[in-house]
Amino acid sequence: MPELGPHSLTSFLVVTATLFACGVFAVVARRNAIGVLIGLELMLNAAALQFTAYGRFRSASDDVQGQAAAVFVIVVAAAEAVVVLALLFAVYRTARDIDLERTRELRS
């Protein structure tokens, strides 16, 4: 069995896989658009954690590519959240509901 703890890559990858699986479950199981958005954010955070973990455990200790990729993922996640929330506000103003099953077609 691989060693677990803060000094092994395996523990970071287990946490990352768990976060990603929770995000996939939230996207698949939720009908509410906010729940789907939270699932997407969980998946993006799992990707950022994985980039950071691989960057930390690389043999070249001065290389910051993993951390730079994680910051890029965080910026993309923030921009995605802003755009999706703006769209959800627009949908709510017209349909008075953010249930994804009921708002498949937008009609004015």
Q: Pick from 45, 55, 57: which is nearest to 10 by CA?
A: 57
What pTM, to 2 d.p., does this model score? 0.78
- The CATH number for 21's domain is 1.10.287.3510
Within-domain flag for 100: no
- Residue 75's domain comprises 9-95
Number of domains the chain contains: 1
Q: Give, for all 108 residues of the chain, the pLDDT tens digit.
A: 667 777 778 888 999 999 999 999 999 997 787 888 899 999 999 999 998 888 888 766 667 888 888 899 999 999 988 998 888 887 777 777 766 666 666 555
Within-domain flag for 33: yes
Cα separation, 41 vs 24, in Å, equals 10
Within-domain flag for 80: yes
Within-domain flag for 52: yes
